[in-house]
Chains A and B, each alone.
Chain A
Amino acid sequence: MTVLLISFLKTLLYFSLFMIFIPFFVSCNFEEHTDKEPNKYITDSLSLKTKVINEEPGFFQETISEVSGEESTVQEEIVNLYPFEIIDSSGESIEFKKPPDRIVAFDAAALETIFTLGKGEKIVGTHDFVSYPPEAENIIRVGGAFNMNIEAIIGLNPDLVFVFSDQNVGNLKNAGLKVLYIKSLNNDFSKISDEIIMWGMILNVENKAKEIVLDFEKRLNNIETTVKNLNINQTIFQDVGDLWSPGRNTLMDDVFALLNVSNIALDVDGYAQISREIIVDRNPDLIITLDRDTITKDPAFNEISAVQKNRVYILPSNALSIGGPRFINGIEELALLIYPENADLFLKNN
């Protein structure tokens, strides 16, 4: 009898262990690269933009000349966009009749964007892992990536909930909340501009958003031309923990392409754990890691060019892990690590 009981308990334990861990693994592995279809909202927000431009001919160009010219006199132009609709990643259209006042931004990038647009005081809730900007410290936390506390969100009485995954969209909508679900970016960081414009429209600070986007694009162009002029090709390996590395179809891969460095993990789709043999064989010129010791203290990596030339770096901030307005700072930081001799070229334009 006891034996039966014990065997039953043990089976239960194994089963529950598997049940606990497998979903994490699967969701972590595939969240970033299963979605192959283009994000619908991007095209839609673009078409919205064109609509605005058509209504007021020359508006966009005017703003460009205003901002790029010194002492720009950006007037507080009240462009009455409302009401308008945004089509989210699940294909549903969300109507905005007026700017929202109480926002739950369940996404680090969206929170950063809203703060950069100067509307940070409208955010009433966010998730547990937001660390930037410092002003966001006092915002109420409503759970982590896997344990969103829906009751707490309802209790905050928001008029807009922004989420980056569709896990809880149904539950939130059932609770009568207005939910904007836009999938977090997994490639093509130029879409960050579209998101900034979108938030500008939602919060009725479109001019400010355009200003930020222009700055973003100006700095991006500067990096692009500088890199093109330098014309040095190097190989890179990024270790995001335990030799997991971004491969094709990731934001980081786009950044590497922009900076003219070849990612040695290019034959991997999404994120994967790279074998040490491959790293030794492909011999990267520089390595970005979280903990230098894991690379430099590994005897197998002694002969690698990056270790020999002491080019194993830790990124100075987490800007590159959040697809928000600070992303460009992250790219610049990485550029300084990749081209240490030409640091002045990247810095002089700021």
Chain B
Amino acid sequence: MININKKIFIQSNKNYLYDKFKVYWIIFLCLLLLIISGISVCIGSVNIPVLDLINIIYDKILGNINPNSNFDVIIFKIRIPRVLLAGVVGFALGMSGSTYQGLFRNNLADPYLIGVASGAALGATIIIVSPIPLYFGVINLLPLGAFLGSILCVMLAYLISYQSDSLTLTTLLLAGIAISSVCGAITALLMLSSDPNIRPVLSWLFGSFTSARMEHVLLVLIYIIPSFLFILSFSKFINILQLGEDHAILLGVNVEYVKKGLIIAASLATAGAVSFCGLIGFVGLIAPHMVRLIWGTDYRYLIPLSSIVGAILLILADLVARTILGASELPVGLVTAFCGGPFFLFILRYQRKYRFK
């Protein structure tokens, strides 16, 4: 007993202020992210030779008009926005996944824990199934519906669990699960009672970056940058919260304030991410776990690291989704589940072997 305590003490003492090693890892992962993004821009269902690609980018920078406008459109209006959106969404999912896991002190937590996903699904399904046109002027109503749905669901769960000046996390969790199941039932009902051709709803529910645009990336960034800065600045409090709320209060943390702030920031980031690309499962769950298994549980590093890992994973998954079938697309959510599951199992196994040696 005493030994274990001592070990924890020594470890936390060592990591207390500044971990050079992990900062290097963050820089390395950022570089890896850049390289992977660059590679994914080069690969796609339309084969563009690397020399042409370099020429197009060179011309774009110099402001020349490229004679081969098809390739130009494909690179700048389809591929680059798509890779960027995948990266940004993966970043958001990794970030809110690790935040929720720290906040709820539950390893099964993921960004969709308290109703974001099912609320977004319901909002999107209502927009697709109902006779409302998809476009209102130039505004696409689908992401708007998804965003409103997810925010309303989280707010409902939040209000239900917010009793007499304190936010009980267990109640929030259960309220989120209950609201999720109700929303899931309404979504299924809407799908059953609509036209049999429900493919658009399905491809949205499985997540897809097919219609990614530059504006989408910017809109998602508006939610993600403030949330990221907020969560990062509060990450040391998540570390303290791991001791339990009572201990955190004793240590001088304003627990209520921290909890509320983190939930709002993480939910906003997830809702913003989900609204443009649908429900992409698993990334928000496995990215923090991978980071935790490799680099430890210090949330000051866990949150930025798992955000970057989430971005890398999702860019790779989207690369597979858009190239593996040639001319047609696979929903990226299927790819994350198919590839992410076995990979995660491998990491679990590796970690077990490592630990018991």
Contact = CB atoms under 8 A, between A and B. Distances in A.
Interface in A1-58: 2-3, 6-7, 9-11, 13-14, 16-17, 20-21, 24-25, 28
Contact of A267 (B106, B192, B326): B326
A129 B196 contact: yes
A178 B332 CA distance: 44
Contacts of A293: 133-135
A181 interface: no
Contacts of B281: 14
A280 B202 contact: no
B325 A277 contact: no
B236 to A, nearest CB: 24
B329 A280 contact: no
A340 interface: no
Contacts of B180: 13
Interface in B6-52: 44-46
A276 interface: yes
Contact of A242 (B77, B108, B188, B200): B200
Interface string B149-167: 0000000000000000000
B187 to A, nearest CB: 9
Contact of B328 (A3, A128, A275, A297): A275
A300 B79 CA distance: 10
B255 interface: no
Given A25-B202, A294-B134, A276 B210 contact: yes
B197 interface: yes
Nearest to B334: A25
Contacts of B192: 144, 146-147
A91 interface: no
A269 B78 CA distance: 24
A3 B202 contact: no
A24 B325 CA distance: 20
Contact of A277 (B45, B134, B188): B45
B5 interface: no
A242 B329 CA distance: 11
Contact of B184 (A17, A242, A265, A277): A17
A303 B77 CA distance: 11
Contacts of B173: 6
Contacts of A280: 46, 70, 73-74, 78
A244 interface: yes
Interface string A298-340: 1110110000000000000000000000000000000000000
Interface in B177-232: 177, 180-181, 184, 188, 191-193, 195-200, 202-206, 208, 210-211, 213
Contact of B135 (A243, A244, A297, A303): A297
Contacts of B259: none
Contact of B74 (A6, A10, A240, A281): A281
Nearest to A292: B135
A272 interface: yes
Interface residues of B, number: 50
Given A277-B46, A277-B78, A3 B106 contact: yes
Nearest to A29: B199
A32 B211 CA distance: 25
A188 interface: no
Contact of B73 (A25, A278, A300): A300
A21 B191 CA distance: 10
A275 B329 CA distance: 6
A272 B210 contact: no
A230 interface: no
A268 B202 contact: no
A143 to B, nearest CB: 9
Contact of A299 (B170, B184, B206, B213): B213
A271 interface: yes
Contacts of B289: none
Given A268-B327, A273-B208, A299-B213, 15 more contacts: A6-B177, A9-B177, A10-B113, A13-B177, A14-B281, A21-B205, A242-B203, A273-B199, A275-B327, A275-B328, A280-B73, A291-B133, A294-B135, A300-B73, A300-B78
15 contacts: A2-B170, A9-B177, A128-B193, A144-B193, A144-B196, A242-B210, A243-B210, A243-B329, A272-B327, A277-B44, A280-B74, A283-B70, A291-B135, A299-B77, A300-B77
Q: 10 closest pairs, A vs B, by CB?
A: A272-B328, A242-B200, A300-B77, A293-B135, A241-B200, A281-B46, A145-B196, A273-B329, A277-B46, A7-B108
Interface of B: 44-46, 69-70, 73-74, 77-79, 106, 108, 113, 133-135, 138, 170, 173-174, 177, 180-181, 184, 188, 191-193, 195-200, 202-206, 208, 210-211, 213, 281, 322, 325-329
